Amino acid sequence: MSKILVTGGTGYIGSHTVVELHNAGYTPVIVDNLSNSSIKMLDQIEKIIGIKPEFHQFDLCDDTKVLEFVKNNPDINGIIHFAASKAVGESVQNPLKYYHNNFFSLINLLEAYREKPINFVFSSSCTVYGEPDYLPVDEAAPVKKATSPYGNTKQIAEEILEETANAYDNFNIIALRYFNPVGAHESALIGELPLGVPQNLLPFITQTAIGKRDKLTVFGNDFDTKDGFCVRDFIHVVDLAKAHVAAIKLLEKGNPKGKYDVFNVGTGNGYSVLEAIKAFEEASGQKLNYVVGPRREGDIVKVYGDVTKSTNELNWKAQLGIFEMMDSAWKWEKYLQENPID
Ligand code: NAD
Ligand code: WQD
């Protein structure tokens, strides 16, 4: 079975992608330095797929370790590169950490695989669109000046990848621009494991509902949107994981559109924060304690994806709706309450 390197594979999206790669007949090989995840996720993945995935713990910013891994693992056919630092707020406080981690890990990987044919899937983000000029936003939309060092690392990484694919004949690359991944595997054995106070909406909602947080503060409801609340394209993390399998398959087949391509990975539906809260209350049967507070600096008001290209060319379409997203996120939070993973 074709071996796929999954960097960041014990992380939130990586762990779900390891499961879907296995289900699709691939052999995932995880590299992770556990800087933002727990090694216990390997046991959790094993409970789902029946085998513990191959795991190597090291920092991808260490070029010696990366070269050693590549030498000792010659049968890797593809790479899905999740490993990065991803907290927007932290990136503003500590930009050098983000530029160092996100660029050194990427460049070490590309340089290590310079001499062999490699299919490469990259975790990008809809954050590259900024506040889109039109909605739903498609892949032809202009990339806007990043509003955070984190967002800037994604924009520059896309440029590095496009130029690499066009300069060297051994790389075939797809960048996936994720919208807002939420939810958890239906088994409730894997899910999002935010360290400390969650920065993102969904873990804050579920931690509030289970009593770990006193209340959710909604950052503003006076925006120019259908109900005054910000609008997002929430996508179930399992659908997102399956998009990575589709990308690997497209690269293996040979992407007719060339050696570098970009795809939006969302549902194409925009839900407001209030609609997301209501959907959570319906799915969980829990009334959510929330208050409306001041806006959060840098928040995009409205963003949701045009997923036509992904549907037609990536041969992938999101299957799960907002109810499954909220229901699975709640089940995972309840699982964590009984089975803490640190
Ligand atoms: P995560 O933090 O759960 O997973 C990232 C994993 O990478 C962690 O397990 C961490 O330990 C590992 N890692 C980080 N730096 C490393 C290094 N130098 N060497 C080895 N391992 C390293 O994050 P996630 O939510 O699963 O996101 C995965 C990717 O998707 C990231 O690139 C992120 O920027 C991108 N992304 C995430 C979201 C989101 O909302 N979660 C949205 C868009 C894009
Ligand atoms: C969603 C909505 C908040 C928390 C970020 C990154 C993006 C990607 C996904 C990495 C917004 C509101 C949130 C809270 C709230 N990450 N909110 N109270 O900001 O859309 O995207 O995560 O790639 O790059 O920018 O996600 O979940 O933080 O916020 O009201 O406690 O929920 O204002 O409207 P966001 P989010």
* Residue 296: CB atoms within 10 Å: 14
Q: Determine, yes or no, domain membership for 240.
A: yes
Q: Determine, yes or no, domain membership for 14.
A: yes
Q: Whose CA is nearest to atom 18 of ligand 2?
A: 218
* 49 CA from centroid of ligand 2 (Å): 31
Mutate to test the pocket of ligand 2, among 81, 90, 180 (most ligand atoms within 8 A of CB): 180
Nearest alpha carbon to residue 60 among 14, 19, 110, 17: 110
Q: Is 123 in the pocket of ligand 1 (CB under 6 A)?
A: yes
- What's the structural domain count of the chain? 1
Q: Whose CA is nearest to atom 24 of ligand 2?
A: 127
Q: Determine, yes or no, domain membership for 224.
A: no
Q: How far is residue 311 from each of residues 85, 224, 318, measured CA to CA in Å?
A: 29, 30, 9
Q: Determine, yes or no, domain membership for 278.
A: no
Q: Is the pLDDT of residue 1 over 80?
A: no
Q: Could you tell me if 18 and 24 are in contact, meaning their C-beta atoms sit under 8 angstroms apart? A: no
Mutate to test the pocket of ligand 1, among 7, 13, 180, 300 (most ligand atoms within 8 A of CB): 13
pLDDT in tens, 104-137: 999 999 999 999 999 999 999 999 999 999 999 9
Q: Determine, yes or no, domain membership for 298.
A: no
pLDDT in tens, 210-247: 999 999 999 999 999 999 999 999 999 999 999 999 99
Q: Using the atom order of ligand 1, give the atom closest to the CA of residue 59.
A: 19
Q: Is 191 in the pocket of ligand 1 (CB under 6 A)?
A: no
CATH number for the domain harbouring residue 108? 3.40.50.720
Q: Which ligand is nearest to the CA of 292?
A: 2
Q: Determine, yes or no, domain membership for 194.
A: no
Q: Determine, yes or no, domain membership for 339.
A: no
pLDDT in tens, 137-187: 999 999 999 999 999 999 999 999 999 999 999 999 999 999 999 999 999
Mutate to test the pocket of ligand 1, among 30, 55, 82 (most ligand atoms within 8 A of CB): 82
The 3-state DSSP class for residue 232 equals: strand
Q: Determine, yes or no, domain membership for 202.
A: no
Concatenated DSSP letters for 254-301?
--TT-SEEEEEES-S--EEHHHHHHHHHHHH-----EEEEPPPTT--S
Q: Which domain holds residue 134?
A: 3-184+234-266+305-319
Is 0.85 surpassed by the pTM of this model?
Answer: yes
pLDDT at 23: 98
Q: Could you tell me if 55 and 32 are in contact, meaning their C-beta atoms sit under 8 angstroms apart? A: yes
* 202 CA from centroid of ligand 2 (Å): 9
